[in-house]
Structures are given as C-alpha cells and as structure tokens.
Amino acid sequence: MIATFSKTNATAATLTKNRTEGSVVPSSGMCVTCVDGCIGMCEIGKSAYRGHEVIYPQPFGVITTAAEKAYPVDYSHFSIMGTATGAHGVPADSDKAIFPAVNLEVRFGRDKGIKFRRPWIIPGIGSTNIAKNNWEGLAIGAALAGTGLTIGENVVGMDPDAVFKDGRVVDTVDLKRRVQLYKEHQRDGYGAIVVQANIEDTRLGTHEYAIEKLGVECVELKWGQGAKNIGGEVKIRDLAKAQTLHKRGYLVLPDPTLPEVIKEYERGTFKEFERHSRVGMVTEESFAARIEALRKAGAKYIFLKTGAYRPADLARAVMFASRYKLDLLTVDGAGGGTGMSPWRMMNEWGMPPVYLHSLLYRYAKRLADRGEYVPALAVAGGFAFEDQIFKGLAMGAPFVKLVGMARAPIAAAMVGKTIGRTIDENQVPVYVERFGTSKEEIFVTAGQLRRELGEKAFEKLPTGALGLYTYYERLDQGLRQLMAGSRKFAVEYLSRDDLAALTREAADVSGIRYIMDVDQEEVDSILG
C-alpha cells in the first residue's frame, strides 16, 4: 500500500536530492537523520541560500516539467475492451475491417468547419524559451500532420520587437512568425493555428491584432491550465528586458526599476528576474462581453481553455461554453506540463485528470440530456501515447473530440532538432547511428514526405518538424490498431463502453463499469 502519493523535498525537477536517499521520512521528505554540517542538497537546504528560486523547476528555458505525484486513480486504471465480433464504420468483412481503414479525422466547431486529420491538439505553448526555441519544428510538423497548434499566452507582451500604440499592439515579429510558419505548411485546409489570450494579452489587443492583421480564424480565452492556479511566468536574465516588461504592465520581481534592485543585479546578488501574469477574474458579464467583442472583431471560431479548478468552476466553464456557443472547450487536469510553474503547486493543487474528465462528462451529459448545446470538448493532462489518447476520447465520448498534448510533442520536436544537429556535425550518436547517418535513413517518414512534398520542399524541412511528424505517425498507427481491435473504425464510434475500470474506486470515480461487471446483460443472454 502506498504510504504517500507525494514525493517531497528531493526531485530532479529542482535539482535537489537527499543525503540519505535510502532512508527518507515519507511525510516531509527529509532525511531520517538531518545532520549539522550538511551543505544543503535537498529543497529545504537549497532554499536556505537560494530562497524563492527553488520554487521553480530548473534550469529554466531548456526543460519542460510535469508533476510526479501518484494519484489514486489515473488512466492506467482502465483497460481497453476489444471484441471478436462486428464492426462499426466499415462492413464486418475481414478484408475491409483492417486497421489502416480506421478514420481518425474529426470535424468540430458550431459549423463543423474545423477539420483535423488526427484527434489531438497542442493546447497552448506560450512565451517560455522552450516554446520559442522549438517553434519551427512544432509549427511545421503539426501543420504537415493536419492537427492543431495553439500559440499560448504572453507571446506579444514578451516580444522585444513588438510595436504598440496607445497600449495596443499594432505589429509583432514573434507572433507573426509563429502564425506564418504554421500557415505556410498547412495542407488541404486541415488543422488550425489558434491564438490564446490571458488578461495581459486581452489588454494589449492580441486577439484583435491576430484576427485583423494575421488572418487568424481561431482564438482562445484562457482561464487556466493544469500545471498551476496562477498566471504564467518566465525568468528574465536581462535587466533592460525586465524593465521593458514592467513598463508593459507585467508583474516583474524584484522591481527592475528600483535603484537598489538594479545595483544588486549588477553586483550579482541575483541573476534572474521573474515575470508573472495576473490571475483573471471570471464573471459571466465580462465573459459575455468579451465573446461579443471577439465576434465583432471577426473571430470565426472561439475556444476556451480552463484548468484543474474546483468542480463549480468546471461547471461554470461548461455552462458558459454552451450558453455562448463556443466552438471548443479544453479542460486540463492537474499535474500537466509546463515550461515554468511552481513545483509544489504542480504536485499539490487541483483536480487530477481522471477525476476532472469524469466530472466533465457528467456535466456535458446533463446539458445534452436537456437538449442544450454542448461544444466540442478536448481533454488534457499527461497524455503521451496512443492508448492514453484512446482512453481520453472514450472516457468523454461522445462529447470529447480531441486530446491535448504539449510535453510529448515538444519532446519529439526537440529530439528531432538534436538529431539534425548531430547529422550536421557528423557526430550522430551510436544509439541513433544504427539506423543511419542521414535524415532519410534515420527518420522513417522521410521517404513519404519527400514524395508528398517534392525534393525541394523536403530538403528545407527542419529536423524538429520531422521529429514531431514522425512521432505523430507512430500515434496515428497505434491508435488505428487499438480502435480496430475494438471494432471502432471512426472516432465518432468510440464510447465509454470501450473501457473497463480495473478497480472499484476507478469505477466509482469515472462511472465506467468495473471490469468484472462488463457485458453482464449480454453474458446472461448468451449463457441463459
């Protein structure tokens, strides 16, 4: 039996460890013997000399992070149910009911005008360095794959080259680049580039600019995310940039305009400023007004993303999305990925994915049963593989149309980029070299893309995009195989009956049948 669900005081996320790693107090995470003379390698010890810096995962800008807390119920507590009979979506014919015949396309939005080749989306990658430095691979790879990509919060506010007039953005470099990279590689109208806005973005007019100047059709309001229950934050190592962001209205700590702070920074007392976004204040009146303003500005599709807040807030998000006819609602469970969020907050706040997504289904069904509009739903929070995607879609069927993933796609893009660099340097690692030393030999999708795009376009592809596209190809085939095994040959046929709960607790939380009770009525009719 698990004594504690949490791991405390020592983690790779904050670059800390226990002196007595084999003997640790479960509740505090402290060494059983805390000795006078220790240099302070644990979080308590490191906090004694670096203070608030240890709140955040480290090192900033080159990592993504997700919580390591073990929740009582997660998606591994459910099993996918297969069957030996029938087929949904194709004839029940062994020559036709083959896994390549599974249709993964989804259409959503009030007019069903948004079409994805695969049922997943990257739900908000914003102003962190990890996003900016890998955007080329993410944008091009997602566009080629025909799936969605969301430009997260604070991109405009963080752009040193952005131009403002009367406090509103009139030109950008970074946001324009991010949108254009995606649009230039879209194929046959599949996928979507989405621009997200938090309170600072709204004040700066980010959505209006994206719609009017960049031709963006999909915009998203952000209430929150799974990794934290406060606004977004990044670290700034440049004094001038910290002062610029302070001037643009962000909360910057310590205050980079104070003479004494400037002196401390120049002296090396600290090396990084923190830039924080404010928390929004949701009211129906302000929400309705903002939706109306966006539609007047020309937004074709409006999304909402919310985080792992308490059940009443989830109900509020579902009701508002229904009442104001939004096109997509994304619900992100606790512990989700981040470029920078407080580490203890990531682990100890909010509704975990299975709990949150189970409530989401219940709330959506209540509205549907009354004949009310239910927007397309997306679920997020720790998804990375095809079995998890299947479970997320089935858990929320028929309302959930997409699964949101960020850390896993970023990882694929980063690996692709890194392999490309080793190819250019003629230093391909032995682990990779067994497959070859060129893009064509290493990336299994290279031949397909070369045929589809042509020689010239293929040669221009960054290897980060190849990494993401190839990872998506694996998810594509893996999901088709799982769906074929359940005899579901299109996403629309997935249902909650395709899952079974492995424990009574998982059944109680989700409303999914306990595995020993599955098909009981049909079993009785067969056996008599």
Decide if 331 contacts 314 (C-beta within 8 A). yes
Q: Of 264, 204, 273, which Cα lies nearest the Cα of 240?
A: 273
Can you give the pLDDT at residue 93? 96
Rg of the Cα trace of the chain?
Answer: 24
Kind of pairing between the strands at 400-404 and 273-276:
unpaired
Can you give the pLDDT at residue 1? 46
Decide if 244 contacts 353 (C-beta within 8 A). no
pLDDT in tens, 162-198: 999 999 999 999 999 999 999 999 999 999 999 999 9
Cα torsion 283, 371, 364, 290 to 10°: value is -30
The backbone region for 521, taken as left when phi is positive above 0, alpha when psi lies in -120 to 50, beta otherwise, is alpha
Mean pLDDT of 11-15: 93
Handedness of CA 326, 341, 314, 320 (dihedral sign): negative
Backbone angles phi, psi at 332, to 5 degrees: -105, 120
Q: Is the pLDDT confidence value at 296 over 80?
A: yes
Kind of pairing between the strands at 114-116 and 106-108:
antiparallel
Q: For tokens 């608030």, name the residue.
A: 52
Range ranked top by mean pLDDT from 24-33, 275-284, 389-398: 389-398
pLDDT in tens, 451-477: 999 999 999 999 999 999 999 999 999
Decide if 265 contacts 239 (C-beta within 8 A). yes
Q: Is the pLDDT confidence value at 4 over 90?
A: no
Can you give the pLDDT at residue 214? 98
Cis ω for the linkage preceding 59 (within 30 of 0): yes
The CB density around residue 76, as the number of other CB atoms within 10 Å, is 12
The residue count of the chain comes to 528
Distance (Å, whole) CA 255 – CA 242: 9
3 three-state secondary structure: coil
Q: Give the H/E segment covering residue 129.
A: helix 129-132
**In the sheet where 251-253 sits, what is the strand order?**
233-236, 273-276, 251-253
Residue type, 286: S
pTM > 0.85: yes or no: yes
* Per-position DSSP letters for 148-162, written without gaps between them: EEEE-TTHHHH-TT-
Q: Of 449, 410, 408, 384, which Cα lies nearest the Cα of 145?
A: 449
Using a pLDDT cut of 90, give the percent of the chain over it. Answer: 90
Q: Of 512, 514, 478, 519, which Cα lies nearest the Cα of 495?
A: 512
Residue type, 369: D
| Average predicted confidence (pLDDT) for the chain | 95
Decide if 151 contacts 195 (C-beta within 8 A). yes
Can you give the pLDDT at residue 522? 96
Decide if 53 contacts 235 (C-beta within 8 A). no
* First vs last C-alpha separation in the chain: 40
Q: Is the pLDDT confidence value at 433 over 60?
A: yes
Can you give the pLDDT at residue 17? 95
Q: pLDDT band at 43, cuts 50/70/90?
A: very high
pLDDT in tens, 127-136: 788 888 999 9
Q: Is the pLDDT confidence value at 492 over 70?
A: yes
pLDDT in tens, 337-368: 888 889 999 999 999 999 999 999 999 999 99
Decide if 89 contacts 377 (C-beta within 8 A). no
pLDDT in tens, 189-231: 999 999 999 999 999 999 999 999 999 999 999 999 998 998 8
pLDDT in tens, 496-517: 999 999 999 999 999 999 999 9
Residue type, 327: D
Q: Of 95, 97, 96, 103, which Cα lies nearest the Cα of 485?
A: 97
Decide if 146 contacts 120 (C-beta within 8 A). no
Can you give the pLDDT at residue 2? 57
Distance (Å, whole) CA 315 – CA 323: 12
Instruction: Return all residues near 98 (Cβ < 8 A) that are at least 6 apart.
Output: 484
Burial 337-359 (b: 16+ CB within 10 A, else e): bbbbbbbbbbbebbbbbbbbbbb
Distance (Å, whole) CA 148 – CA 164: 29
Mean pLDDT of 270-292: 94
Decide if 81 contacts 499 (C-beta within 8 A). yes
Using a pLDDT cut of 70, give the percent of the chain over it. Answer: 99
